[in-house]
Amino acid sequence: MTMRGVSLLASAINLSITADAGPDCQLGPCLFQVHAEADTAEVMIYGAIGGYLFEESVSALDLVERIGQITASTIHVRLNSVGGVVTDGMAIYNALKSHPARTVVTVEGQAASIASLILQAGDERRVFASSLVMVHGPRTVAAGTATTFRQNAEALDAHAAAMLEAYASRSGRREDMERLLTDDADHWYSGPQAIDAGLADVVVDADPGASARWQAASAVAVTGYLHAIEGAGAPVTAQLRRHIVASLSPQTFASLPEVSQSAVIGHIEDPTMKQQYATILASAGLATAAAAGNTATPAAAPAAPAPAPVTAAAPAADPVAAAMLALRTRNTEIQAIAQTHMGIPAVAEYVNGIIAAADISVTADNAGRHILALLGSNGQPLNGNAGIVPGGDQRDLTRAAMSNAIEARAGLVQATDGNPFRGMTMGEIARACVQATGTNVAGMDRMQIVGMAFTHSSSDFPSLLGDASRRAVAQGYQEAEENFDQFTRPVNVPDFKATNLVGLGAFSDLDIVPEGGEYKQGTFSEQSQAMKIVTYGKLFTITRQAVINDDLGIFSDVPRKMGQAARRTLAKAVFELINSNPILADGKRLFSAEHGNLLPAALISTASVGAMQSAMRLQKDKSGNLIQVPMKGLLTPVALNLLARAVREAEYAVGAGTGDKDPNTVRNTFEVWDHGRLDEKDPKAWYGLANPAFVDGIVVGYLDGNQTPYLEQEQGFTVDGVAWKVRLDAAPAIADYRGIYKNPGNPT
């Protein structure tokens, strides 16, 4: 096979080789020109490289032939290209490198993908400060057998190796260039960044001729992007919009037709930038209207003996420059008004906001009046830098510093710079807590000091340990690798009494109401299930000995592991509920033929997943209303997880009886979760769960909505220290059987 299909194209414009873009995508105007004057030739390369993939592009065959005919001693190459076919780019690179003339390559817009390799052909590689250079590895689209794909991979490696020689020979950074070609990422550089990376040599001085050429190049690029964006998919559209923004300047914008200017504004997503260019467009319109008014034909004057001399009208000012000058003048006036009040946050926010918005309708006088209103709306000193702000007392500050020191040593938080308690042992902090109460600890041993730290009524020591333990419990609860919260919905339960969960079905159909007729009461169909909160809990104790021994694990590792255990225990209850197939309020098992949520046994496949999705969408409530339950995902044993993901992601249908090219109709239409507790009960069965936004299958009730373990402290009586009780009040329940379906799995 040939590698004509291997392309190196900026990802933002990768239209002609992306399967979802189609062959009708256009890249806008693409061209090349070669002309010579005296002893200098100019080669202009604008557009995609290679005629194989693009309807309008730079043909390597034609360009290389024209380069070979050049006899001048200097070749200036003007480059603005998104990239294209690798081999065509290499041919242009080799033609320029092998030519005896001195070659100067200037990136006037962008040199992306294989175009960045053409840049390396220059004896001098020039960029503008606003130029873009992008490097990435070659890529292709292939189909066929595994052998075909291996051959394609080898060919891509060979292309990358050949390209590496060009980049490495000019940059002198072989390892860096090899990384850019093999890490499967697009690497973008501005002009100065390209020089730092070894991809260019010099930033071009902005002489008038260069500025005009850059403006023309940018206008061509923006026009091409606007043309390409029509009919493009969402990802490509987003990338094209970024290219439009990168190519814009006020001068480039002003050179575009008005219809293109309006289109450009529509594609700018940043509100500040959108406002800036909308202001320029509006100002240009006003200036044009004024110019038209000034050039109206005057009334005929009476004849005179001799004609008066006529003074030619001064040329109209550049509307873009005039608008920008007006904005700068207004901003300077506003900043002068606000200068002495910028220490007040509201004033600073307002001034920075109107300057960023660039709304010319807001005058300096308007801004001054608004600033005065802001100054009168708060009680701060007008200079914004005086006054005393109340805060916490010394005890609060000391306690916060001690808490930070303890938690930092336990690895729960970062230590605060300048914390005087940083690095202290637990015993030393206990001593500081006792001394803070005004107690003289002279003559006390460590056991007495720690005991008093626990028992003194004014001591903060127990609270400090509690703060650290609570943080550790919460951290452990979040760390536990349990996924039940991804397919269940939390609900608030007010008390420990049995609570009915009402799964509302569809509202009854609307009736035809004749003129003057009576409206009848509608109803919801209901499915009521019961839930009762249970309490899960354990105790742990922090003793005097643990503090004296500076045992950090007793209040970091132990409570953290208890937090993990709390989440694990709740997950166990969720999966026990699924595995037990409980009897519901209607007297029937959760999964049953009567409920219509027990499907014929089958292995996970395109057909069986599609059947489950259809069964859920065809489910009806008790009133016979079709409720259209969408399936959110599959819940499987660990043993079936890979198969479920394969069915979700495969391009072609998976399962017996399907053809090699049958489409996978369920591709990327569901999520996949797995858990080992399902393997313990039945490694073959798998489940479909509804989107809880429509129907609740499984809910987890939490007392008062508290979804994290609660830590309660009790002073020890039988033990010297403090006892802590970790408690979680929660319970899972089935809210509606229509929200969960079961397939018993492979019957063999």
123: Cβ contacts below 8 Å, ≥ 6 apart: 102, 103, 104
Q: Which of 76, 136, 243, 675 is catalytic?
A: 136
Q: Which of 16, 81, 113, 131 is catalytic?
A: 113
Active site residue 113: yes
Rounded CA-CA distance 473/564 in Å is 8
Q: Are 12 and 242 in contact (CB under 8 A)?
A: yes
**Packing angle, helices 271-294 and 319-338, rounded to 10:** 120
State the Rg of the chain over Cα: 37
DSSP letter string over 172-231? S-HHHHHHHHHSS--EEEEHHHHHHTTS--EEPP--HHHHHHHHHHHHHHHHHHHHHHTT
504: Cβ contacts below 8 Å, ≥ 6 apart: 524, 525, 526
Rounded CA-CA distance 404/413 in Å is 7
Cα angle value 186/188/194 (rounded, 5°): 135
Short-list 665, 677, 680, CA closest to 612: 665
- In total, the chain counts a number of residues equal to 748
698-703 and 40-46 beta bridge pairing:
unpaired
Rounded CA-CA distance 634/641 in Å is 9
Short-list 677, 730, 678, 670, CA closest to 490: 730
DSSP letter string over 133-180? EEE---B----S-HHHHHHHHHHHHHHHHHHHHHHHHHHS-HHHHHHH
Q: Is 22 left (phi over 0), alpha (psi -120 to 50) or beta?
A: left
Residues marked active site are found at 113, 136
